[in-house]
Structure 1
Amino acid sequence: MDQKKLAQNILNEVGGEENVRHVIHCATRLRFTLKDYSKPNRKEIEQLDGVLSVVESGGTFQVVIGNNVSDIYKEVLNQTSLGEQKDDNGEDNSEQSLLNRFIDVISSIFSPLLGVLAGAGLLKGLLALFTTTGLLTTDSGTYRILFAASDGFFYFLPIFLALTAAKRFNANQFLAMAIASALVYPDITAMLDNGESISFLGLPVILMKYATTVIPILLSIFALSYVEKFLKKLFHESIRGLLVPLLSLVIMVPLTLLVLGPVGTSVSTGIAAVVSWTYELSPTMTGVLIGGSFQLLVMFGLHWGLIPVMLNNLSLYGRDPIGPLYGPAVVAQAGAALGVFLKIKDKKMKGISLSACITGLFGITEPAIYGVNLKLKKPFIAALISGAIGGGIAGYFQASALTLAPKSILTFPVFIGPGFWGYVVGFFVAFILSVVLTYILGFEEPSAPSEKKQDKQSGSDKSQLSEDIIASPLKGKAIKLSEVKDDAFSSEAMGKGMAIIPEEGKLYSPVEGELTMAFPTGHAYGLTSNTGIEVLIHLGIDTVQLQGEHFNPVVKSGEKVKQGDLLATFDLNALKEKGFDMSTPVIITNTSSYLDVIKVAEEQVDKNQSILTIVK
């Protein structure tokens, strides 16, 4: 796989760098926050070699790559300026729901930390295992050094969060880290430990523990982004470089200690109390709900909302009861992939499912979900059921985690303590049950597309051939596609079809289905029929130059249409007067999915008259 080419193709198909607000990556996905979500060509991206799937959720456009996503991410940054900090606060983001915006913010802040979060968490779990088995003692130099290596990240978590939050909120990253450092400064911590009372300009300061916390620093950096912007406008650039950092520190550190820190800590305590109350009502039922729904949350990007909750639990209680409940859900996807491997006959799918099972056992489930289980449907259902049962077992034994870490066969030490064996049992029950259920429920084996096509072309059973008709979207003169004076269309590089020279300024839908794309300039439209045919209509040649002048769309992207519905009007006389060639290509962009596309139109056509036959 050519990583440079893949990164370039993905960028092109999401609408280019100019359509990307920012991009991050997690363990297996590129997560794009876009300016216009109608521009990406989802089907083209899914067909790229190296892409497992595309998911649109949580306010992001997610391209599932797999284990080498970090390499593709680096190539994306190398080919663009997306790695540089941008100020896009002024851009309209109103189309995203509040939930989507929240998920987008959380994912962009925590994604860059996942690697070190996993490594430090696993090391902390291993140290617990070594002390439990007597391999190390807590007063030995080896243990203390390794514990510092594992716990240092969590203790100074506010500083790391300040860095990523500043990037997300477009604040100065080093100023943000300086504010976070003040919160965990030894003298401040010592005053809290000693029970001292202090004030700032006569205002009492409520000292609190900020090490390992999440919400206080996020509130602080969010506020910093606005304070810094205000100060930049206030001072001339000749003194801005000195006074903005000075006043930002003077304002934000006291403000955080006086107001934002206590408020954030109160919010953290409230969230923890709600989670604890829900869990105590029925740990088993909570486990069933989380274990059964977790992979659905992952698919829609909503699982990011659990990360600050789990970190909050660790900060307040020292252990987290939520993480163990979805560990079985992760391994259940691996079990379903193994069930597919054992049952399926297709050799290629056997290899894919075995590989997906192995990566799933190590905590990476996207290859299993998107490459195997969702495609076959029933294995995914089997995994959800198994994850719910395994989560219920872990909940019943009230398993908890020492820290955050991926849920895999390598991270059992993270769960050492109360309920440990309950977690282990739930983990393996989910895996084995998922294998068995997948094998028993079965699935419909996919047929090779090449074999289907070959059977149809052979003519051995002509009764299996079927046709779809594309109606004329215009009234005018029908011409061959090769007569269009634009190589992109006439060469059939974009697909087979024909063209019409319009005689009136009305464009109609040639199919019943959905208007999937309407260019803002009103000169081009993409539709997908209810049977999956993708049609592109381009009104005239080079008419994009007019920037929408003389074109009036009447239907928006995403709307359902019937054949013959009016899509747009245009001033045909004005366009001709300006010298534009109004030859209008009607292209079947997914031509390769069919046996043939045949022009059946006569020299003169009217709206709704048959112009193309699609042979399946």
Structure 2
Amino acid sequence: MASKYDGLARIIIQNVGGKDNITSITHCITRLRFKLKDESKANTEILKDTDGIVTVIQSGGQYMVVIGNHVPQVFDAVISVGHLENKSALAAGESDDGPKEKQNPFNAFISIVTSVFTPFLGVLSACGILKGVLALLSAVGVLAGDSSTYNLLYALGDAAFYFLPPILGVTAAKKFKLPELEGLVLGLALVYPYLTDGAHEISHLFGIPVTMPPSGNYTSSVIPIIAAVAFAGWFENKVVKKIVPDTIKLFAVPFLTVTITYCLTLFIIGPVASGIANVLGLFFNTLNEISPIIMGAIVGFFWQILVIFGLHWSLVPISLSNMATTGQDVILVAMLGTTFAQTGACIGIYLKTRDKKLKGLAPAAIVSGMAGVTEPAIYGLTLPKKAPFFRTCVISGIAGAALCTLGVKAYQSAGMGIFSYPAYVNAQTKDTSGMIIAIVISLLCLVAGCILELLFYKNESKDSSKSLEASATTNGEVLVAPVKGEVKPLTEIADKVFSSEAMGKGVAIVPEEGKVYAPADGTISAFFNTGHAIGLTTANGAQVIIHVGMDTVQLEGKGFEPKVKQGDVVKKGDLLLEFDIDFIKEAGYSVETPVVITNSDAYADIIPTDAKTVVNGNDLITLL
């Protein structure tokens, strides 16, 4: 589902070397902890310079991206956008007690469409390119449209589109936990010749009226089969399997599921789903007729922003539906400039930057961008710097407005980048003017993207003073010592994340007693199952982390005995945790315990005690 951290998640995945370089991912109270196949593939400096990332630490075979208090949300976004569920071993520290975000209907729809299309998107693009090339060859007279060669190759190119329902039936079945062959059968039934040849009147089933979609049949349709499989998955798992005896489940379950779903699809699901798709398509087509400039500018400008959040998938089924019902589409035309603007920006950054790491990333991003794959450009170069990304959005918006105003249409779904050009050839009229306009405007986007970066890109000096966002409202207060022991300056402990004060200011205590008490009244905002780290938000707004030991998350909870849980309201002096000092030391870990104010920027000054030792209840940190 879409999250405000999706963009950051994609930047992280791209710059740790891509999802294929990730062996596993966990997190603790402040850090994403990766195990990478090859750490040399990670772009550490880019990650360090990215807003939302405090720093990066490489230690003990782990590649740690320090985020701060909101690391659970970033972790969820990384898992979601990268589809890394099989590589995520939730850090023993992650609490399951926190509230879980629910998907609204729109986000659920995006998640479904993404899951359904991703497995065969490459094949779909390849078939679209083949159709486009055939249309181009026919338009220029190289290949006759009625020749055997043309039609045999066209059968290959058009097959993925004509038989979309059975293909989507399989991929949707995986999403909705339905046996894949049942999804396949449902899709095949919708494109069975009796329903598609036009020689039969399809009006009633069991005396109940059947309404076919406006196109006349379900070939090349998208939403009806997805909706049908979604229902079938629910119906089979929640109803059929519970009422059918085990002795006949082998054949009775698929029989009931497929038969009832097929009938309901013809009666209700198909007509409703087709109607929704047609209404959405009509909206965009009407907007294009009323004002091509507005239509093109909106889609062109926002397309890359939609991509960051995965929302562009909501427009893909509408585009395919338009092509199936009207033979043409304008939605994907309007986003043509995005890939070329991004590629041009990468060229400009390559020529302008003094950063050797960026220069190393740019060539691959340029090549893939020309081919229509802009993720390396977006997440490796333009989005981390923000300004280049939004400059490309402006260029794309202008290009979209120009393309729609000039009447360019897409007549088949094709690839992206330079491979999208054949899609703008009208095979029926052999008109290539749309392709010529598309080529000219895409090249202008390429040049504009490059020139703007040459003019405005700034080689920024590295700023190591990034700090976490302060809480909205804070008041001064005094925190008492949560642990008995020797007080040390935070800058003297071994862990660079804490000693650099990147997480915030505070002190460290070398404990003499294995007990942690609440330093103030407040709420336990985080308490990992490992017990090694506690987050407390005080009643006055201070955000405090008490981290028992260094890298003790590796102990997976051994030696720690939590006394409270996340969400508990506590009073100053309440016992929060007991831990075994000797066990931790024998396991080879330091017991130095940082007490850090993560929203330090909210205070005019943070004054640690000058005492060398403290016991629970002594003043430890004064917040002004």
TM-score normalised by L of structure 2: 0.70
Matched, 1:293 2:302: yes
The answer to whether the 8 A contact 1:57-1:299 is kept is no
Q: Bigger CA drift: 292-301 or 349-358?
A: 349-358
In structure 1, the residue matched to 2:575 is: 572
State the Cα distance separating 1:278 from its structure 2 match.
1.4
* Residue among 189, 204, 222 paired with 2:209: 204
The one of 4, 9, 12 equivalent to 2:26 is 12
Matched, 1:505 2:517: yes
Instruction: Pick closer, same or farther for the CA change 1:416–1:574 going to 2, 3 Å.
Output: closer
Partners in 2 of 1:14 and 1:177 — Cα distance? Answer: 42
Give 3-state SS (helix, strand or coil) of 2:315's partner.
helix
Report the Cα distance in structure 1 between the residues aligned to 2:521 and 2:352, rounded to whole angstroms: 45
Aligned match of 1:127: 134
Partner of 2:612: 602
Unaligned 5+ residue runs, structure 2?
1-15, 30-52, 90-98, 427-432, 466-476, 500-507, 538-542, 586-590, 599-607
Deviation (angstroms), 1:185: 0.7
Which among 246, 252, 260 is matched to residue 255 of structure 2?
246
* Amino acid in the other structure paired with 1:426: I
Give the conservation status (yes or no) of the 8 Å contact 1:473–1:509.
no
Letter in 2 for 1:171: L
Amino acid in the other structure paired with 1:572: L
CA contact (8 A) 1:335 1:435 kept: yes
AA in 1 matched with 2:517:
G
Give the drift of 1:445.
Answer: 3.2
Equivalent residue of 1:345, what SS?
A: coil
Displacement, 1:188? 2.2
Residue matched to 1:371? 380
Asked whether the equivalents of residues 132 and 422 of structure 2 are also in contact (C-alpha less than 8 Å), the reply is yes
Residue 236 of structure 1, CA deviation: 2.3
Q: After TM superposition, list the pairs within 5 Å mapping 1:391-470 onto structure 2.
A: 391-417=400-426, 419-447=434-462
Match of 1:464 in 2: none
For 1:262, the equivalent position in structure 2 comes to 271
In structure 2, relative to structure 1, the CA distance for the partners of 1:304 and 1:254 (3 Å cut) is: same
Distance of aligned partners of 1:346 and 1:267 in 2 relative to their CA distance in 1, 3 Å threshold? closer
Q: How far is 1:416 from its partner?
A: 1.6
Equivalent residue for 2:189? 182
- Opposite residue 61 of structure 1, the aligned amino acid is A
Task: Assess, with a 3 A threshold, how the Cα gap between structure 1 residues 475 and 338 changes in structure 2: closer, same or farther.
Answer: same
Task: Output one character per residue of 1:363-413: Cα deviation in whole Å (capped at 9) or x when no partner.
Answer: 111221222222333322321221111111111112121222332123211
Q: Could you list the per-position Cα deviations for residues 531-560 of structure 1 after superposition, in whole angstroms to 9, with x for gaps in the alignment?
A: xxx9852469989579996315457xxxxx
Counterpart AA for 2:204: S
How has the CA–CA distance of structure 1 residues 575 and 525 changed in structure 2, closer, same or farther, with 3 Å as cutoff? Answer: closer
* CA distance in 1: counterparts of 2:122 and 2:436, whole angstroms: 27
CA apart distance, 1:429: 1.7
Listed as ranges, the matches of 1:310-349 within 5 Å are 310-349=319-358
Q: Which runs of 5+ in 1 are unaligned?
A: 16-40, 82-91, 453-469, 482-489, 529-533, 556-565, 591-597, 612-616
Looking at structure 1, the residues matched to 58 and 206 of structure 2 have their Cα atoms a distance apart, in angstroms, of 60
**Relative to structure 1, is the Cα distance of residues 601 and 221 closer, same or farther in structure 2, using a 3 angstrom cutoff?**
farther
| 1:472-530 superposed Cα distances (whole Å, 9 cap, x missing partner) | 6634422379xxxxxxxx986986654444878324499xxx998543687733589xx
Deviation track 1:155-202 (CA, whole Å, cap 9, x = no partner) reads 000111111111111112111110111110112222xx1252453222
Q: Which residue is equivalent to 2:117?
A: 110
Distance verdict in 2 for CA 1:574–1:400, change over 3 Å: closer
> Is contact 1:498-1:599 (8 Å) kept?
no
Judge conservation of contact 1:138–1:144 (CA < 8 Å) in 2: yes
Q: Does 1:170 align with 2:177?
A: yes
Q: Secondary structure at the match of 2:481?
A: coil
RMSD: 4.8
Q: Retained in 2: the 8 A contact 1:523–1:551?
A: no
Q: Which amino acid is 2:231 matched to? A: A
Note closer, same or farther for the CA distance 1:521–1:214 as it changes in structure 2 (3 Å cut): same
Could you tell me how far apart the structure 2 residues matched to 1:421 and 1:600 are?
A: 75
Equivalent residues in 2 for 1:345-360, closer than 5 Å: 345-360=354-369
- Indicate yes or no: 2:153 matched with 1:146: yes
TM-score for the superposition, normalised by structure 1 = 0.71
CA contact 2:562–2:576 (8 Å) conserved in 1: no
Task: Check whether the contact 2:55–2:497 (CA below 8 A) recurs between aligned residues.
Answer: no
Quick one: structure 1 residues 172 and 506, their matched pair in 2 at CA, closer, same or farther if it must change by over 3 Å? Answer: same
Deviation at 1:214, TM superposition (A): 0.8
Count how many residue pairs are aligned between Structure 1 and Structure 2.
517
Give the Cα–Cα distance (whole angstroms) in 2 for the partners of residues 553 and 57 of structure 1: 16
Q: What amino acid does structure 1 have at the position aligned with 2:365? A: A
